[in-house]
Structure 1
Amino acid sequence: MTLSLVENKVGLSKTHGHHGELIQGIFTTNKGLCRGLVTLPFKEAWSVARFEPNSSSEFTINDITKYKALKALELTAHYVSQENQKGYLEINSNIKVGKGIGSSTADVLSTIMAYIDCYNITLSNKEIAQIAVKAEKASDSLMYPGQCILFAQRDGEVLRYFPGQLPFMEVIGVDLPMNTIETLNLTLPEYSESDIISFQILVKLLGKGIEQQDTSLIGIASTKSAEINQKFFPKPIFNELLRLSKIIGAEGIQVAHSGTVIGFIFNPLKPKHSNNISLLNSELKRLSLKPYKFTI
């Protein structure tokens, strides 16, 4: 940690959300079994934080429902030994809550970054992750932008760095008709030995897909992870969407494991890609779902 008490007067930061996960489960590490996930970036979702110091005796925020962001502000001030430096936090976000696309993590991280921006403080990604986990109890890996990692969401630690970036992919997403989800209210999945063995295979398969820039391997890994998750947090019409993904030539599907969104993964360089997307959009609309597109 590098600390300076020089103020910029106003701290600003923007954090992008995610579209659920490519894989999520329990993985073997040098510390034993550990829960982890690999996040799928979603730059169309974002949260912007603005922090302005003042002479108040407490931190205040423009939206009282964003209590995790306020907690992150308090924790960050304590971590850098500036508990007496209060101020006003303003959060603006386009991320819907309870969808599994990183609303709270984006708020928390943009808050931490806005605060340290205000005081010209430098924190490592690991330090930021530890603060985020304390604020949220479980956090996504958004504090490592541009890096593909296996992340322990409840410990704030990187379990594995993958060799490079995700290949160029196009994703058609939909928000399924189900109740919004509060991750911390969910009972943690009790994976079987077979599931845990599968996760070890999937993380290797995902790593190979990244190393070889092979979208099909990534699609296989994410689809299997989504199928395992279906035993614990089932998505409506999942089997129909899985069947549809195979018919229209998708590389696979991915889900927000504790959310409501699902994505169809495509390699846009493959033949008939445009036709496949058109067919998928038509079928999704027939199912009364509203598709949207983003790229990786």
Structure 2
Amino acid sequence: MRSFHPAPRAAAGISYCSFGELLQGVLLEDESDFLVTLPIRKYSVSTFVPDHGSSEIVTQPSGKTKAAALARVILARHGRTVGGTFHIDCDIPVGKGLSSSSADLLATARAIEVYLGRELPLEQLCRDMSGIEPTDGVMFAESVVYLQRKGMLRARLGRLPNLQIVSLDEGGTLDTLEYHRGGEANRHNREHRAEFNELLERIVAAFAARDLAEIGRVSTRSAQINQKVNPKRHLVAVQDVSAATGGLGLVTAHSGTCIGILYEAGRADHAANLARAVDALSAHGSVRVYDTIC
């Protein structure tokens, strides 16, 4: 367990984000929702400025209500009635499906760890975060299979060799809670649970073998299945660009607005392929390039 000294003043925490999910579905044995994360080098930083003359927890920006709710839960469990402000700065805008909300939650929890001078038990933290909303497994510094509603780790998969993602944002925003509240995604995923479990077995084996092409195939299929509940208007166009530029396959934000192409950054022709993909996708919306954590 890590050793801490209590922070007398401001305390800061950080979390990375995840580019959508390589795979998202339900388990065959008990119909638990699961996802496979893809950590990227984009971050949320939360800085806690305590106010010992108040018990009110607020955030800046003020709309980060989920982070404030988590802070209240954790501080109350540790018998702290202190108030204060969490200043949250995230590289990723909300509603895009790139784990900005999950990263805000984890960064806030990490700031509280520094303030308290102690490490929070990981299993309890996972449950607390999922009690606020279905949460991506951003607390693990590698790709994992994570049960986002239960707040449970199913399997660690490890880090991939250096990959880059060319992302197309189709615009707008999507609220994760609203996405799940309607039940359509839940029903649709259960119809495909046998295929999801086959895909899960394939991607676990692909990580073990470092088979990037197979990971790309699984991720592409997950994006295709998701079209019924959160269709990406340009999925076919993005897939065509991937095929024409040496992409490994697609990766989508299942409950967001972004869809991307996976590229192996070590290829000799990578820079040229990346430039061609950015140029081709720019006709359809906002394009960004993200680096994975390797």
Same fold (TM over 0.5): yes
- The 1:281/1:64 distance shift into structure 2, 3 A limit, reads closer
Deviations 1:27-86 (Å, cap 9, x if unpaired)? 235xx221011111121243333342422132233322111111011011122232x232
Shift of 1:206: 1.2
Counterparts of 2:270 and 2:90, CA distance in 1: 33
The answer to whether the 8 A contact 1:284-1:291 is kept is no
Deviations 1:157-214 (Å, cap 9, x if unpaired)? 112222x32232222112113x210011122411366621111111111112211112
Q: Please name the residue that 1:170 is paired with.
A: 164
Q: Please name the residue that 1:12 is paired with.
A: 12
Q: Please name the residue that 1:284 is paired with.
A: 281
- The 1:3/1:43 distance shift into structure 2, 3 A limit, reads closer
Q: Please name the residue that 2:136 is paired with.
A: 140
Counterparts of 1:193 and 1:244, CA distance in 2: 31
Shift of 1:222: 0.5
SS at 2:18 equivalent:
strand
Counterparts of 2:265 and 2:86, CA distance in 1: 41
- Listed as ranges, the matches of 1:68-107 within 5 Å are 68-82=66-80, 84-107=81-104
The answer to whether the 8 A contact 2:18-2:40 is kept is yes
The answer to whether the 8 A contact 2:168-2:284 is kept is no
Shift of 1:279: 2.1
- Listed as ranges, the matches of 1:230-269 within 5 Å are 230-269=227-266
- Listed as ranges, the matches of 1:197-216 within 5 Å are 197-216=194-213
Shift of 1:274: 2.8
- The 1:59/1:122 distance shift into structure 2, 3 A limit, reads same
User: What RMSD, in angstroms, separates the aligned Cα atoms of the two structures?
Assistant: 2.3
Shift of 1:7: 4.5
SS at 2:142 equivalent:
coil
Shift of 1:101: 1.1
SS at 1:121 equivalent:
coil
Q: Please name the residue that 1:112 is paired with.
A: 109
SS at 2:31 equivalent:
strand
Normalising by structure 1, we get a TM-score of 0.89
Matched, 1:38 2:36: yes
- Which consecutive unaligned segments of at least 5 residues does structure 1 have? none
Q: Please name the residue that 1:229 is paired with.
A: 226
- The 1:213/1:155 distance shift into structure 2, 3 A limit, reads same
Deviations 1:73-119 (Å, cap 9, x if unpaired)? 1011122232x232332222232011111121111111111112111
Percent identity over paired residues:
26
- Which consecutive unaligned segments of at least 5 residues does structure 2 have? none
- Listed as ranges, the matches of 1:43-58 within 5 Å are 43-58=41-56
- The 1:58/1:50 distance shift into structure 2, 3 A limit, reads closer
Structure 1 letter corresponding to 2:16: H
Q: Which moved more, 1:148-157 or 1:266-275?
A: 266-275
Structure 2 letter corresponding to 1:176: E
SS at 1:21 equivalent:
coil
Which of 150, 164, 185 lines up with 2:178 in the alignment? 185
Q: Which moved more, 1:214-223 or 1:153-162?
A: 153-162
